[in-house]
A = this chain, B = another copy of it.
Amino acid sequence: MQWKNFDELDTYKKLNSIREVVDIKNEMAGESGAQRVDKYKVNMAADMVYSYAAKNVNDNIIDILQELADEAELIDKYQELYNGAVINTGEKRLVLHHLCRGQLGNDVIADGVNKREFYLLQQKRAGEFAVKVHNGEILNEKGEKFTTVVQIGIGGSDLGPRALYLALENWARVNNTLKMDAKFISNVDPDDASSILATTDLAHTLFIVVSKSGTTLETLTNESFVKNALISNGLDPSKHMLAVTSETSPLANNPAYLDSFYMDDYIGGRYSATSAVGGVVLSLAFGPEVFARILDGAAKADITAKNKNIRENAAMLDALIGVYERNFLGYGVTAVLPYSQALIRFPAHLQQLDMESNGKSVNRFGEEVNYVTGPVIFGEPGTNGQHSFYQLLHQGTDINPIQFVGFKKSQMGNDVIIENTTSQQKLNANVAAQIMAFACGKDDENKNKYFEGNRPSSIIVGDQLNPESLGALLAHFENKVMFQGFVWNLNSFDQEGVQLGKVLAKKVLAKNTEGALTAYSELLGIF
């Protein structure tokens, strides 16, 4: 197996020479459009479908993308990864988030431990702990039940778990499996912790401190915030606080915590939602069965991603269409637009997942690359976005590809019929309409009302947003980002770009600055 820069591949040259802009407007018009929708789709895990009919592809381009997948040995690299190779070259680490949800290949033994067993043990421990909290075996000092859980973490310890919690909160409510309310404290801004503490019943709340190293500035600061509040309310922090951390961190196996659950160096923050980082809070909020169903959906998506046939592997196809649009059509931004209010923070999670993984200028060997890599990711739920930034997506001067997500059924099942249709029908009529509006546009003599069309989009459609489909959706994007990183020959699993700011912030706090940094410190009134 070889790790080559993208522009060293034959298929790069082939794609670069064609740079074919498909006339989506024409392809999607009339009855041939219906045939295209029928043809250009892939079954995904959890009964979802990835539809790419409105993307800038045709049979020829997909054939070359298949060649690219083969030449770049994407599936072999994926296999290397889940079998425990040192894929994170910068930090010299394995990359094992897939093992949280299933055994895709060989046993992975690291540091003398079977890692699948290690992750399963943490899941089991988190689940057992959660059940004891739910059934009243673990109580507060007064012998009362805990009702709320607050996760203290930032970045991957916040965005993924928060997005998943919000995605299932209402589903759990109507399915009688909302065991505890979950809240999150992330920002070092003191108003973040203050506001959560001011509106939370501390005596009945468990706090989870999540930091792999046990040294994350924001998280330790917010932990102190919370401990002070507990103490000043006459509560014993060691009866209210849990740790999710690595076994070697100062937080591990520490009597300051009611219990500790473990993560390791082989799962990066942004890939940790299916590890103990998500598992403890989600098992407490929804019960361990729901968390197990999320893992099950993710495991199925991981298996689907092993397929070498690009037309049957949605994550790989999605990845390579994205590469085509980014490198050969020059599009710099991808909008992620879920038609589901419950996915309100899912775009923020994908923003981290994608931009922190592939927003890089050097390859996995630390050499500068000569092509563009990861795009900017942003998004909000539809239909809200339609009344906001879609104006630019439709009629702006740049083309920004779109990734829609939709579900046939609502989560709560409560609906209202206005003008003969339900809200759910209106919601989905809007996303169907948007795909076609972006694809085909509209002629108009009044140029202000003219829509150029040919603006590419794809859609993932599921039956309902539930634990399985949510898990599959999460894993789909993780695998998409992984495949794109392989094509670009990046290390998608480190984040050296976050270090410099930390170093300079420490200098400011130590008053060890000069020049402009001193001037900004004064402007901001830091001292």
Contact = CB atoms under 8 A, between A and B. Distances in A.
B155 A387 contact: yes
Contacts of A32: 515
B186 A501 contact: no
A249 interface: no
A248 to B, nearest CB: 21
Q: What interface size band does chain A fall in?
A: 35 or more
Nearest to A433: B504
19 contacts: A30-B515, A31-B514, A155-B386, A190-B410, A190-B416, A195-B412, A198-B412, A221-B426, A269-B387, A333-B333, A356-B391, A369-B397, A390-B501, A394-B501, A421-B509, A433-B508, A436-B520, A448-B491, A459-B523
**Of residues A362, A382, A387, A434, which shows the largest number of chain B Cβ atoms within 10 Å of its Cβ?**
A387
A38 B156 CA distance: 37
**Of residues A218, A220, A500, A519, which shows the largest number of chain B Cβ atoms within 10 Å of its Cβ?**
A500
A149 interface: no
A515 to B, nearest CB: 4
Nearest to A430: B505
Nearest to A441: B500
Interface in A499-514: 499-509, 514
A391 B497 contact: yes
Contacts of A437: 500-501, 504
A156 to B, nearest CB: 7
B523 A390 contact: no
A190 B412 contact: yes
B429 A505 contact: yes
Give the oligomeric copy count: 2
Interface stretch (A271-279, A305-313, A372-380): A372-380
A198 B170 contact: yes
A194 interface: yes
Interface in A413-435: 414-416, 418-435
Given A33-B519, A372-B398, 11 more contacts: A31-B515, A190-B416, A190-B427, A355-B388, A362-B448, A362-B450, A371-B397, A430-B501, A432-B517, A437-B501, A461-B523
Interface stretch (A108-116, A257-265, A335-343): A335-343
Contacts of A186: 384
Contact of A436 (B428, B447, B449, B516): B516
Given A372-B398, A406-B524, A496-B449, A187 B381 contact: yes
A427 to B, nearest CB: 5
B432 A526 contact: yes
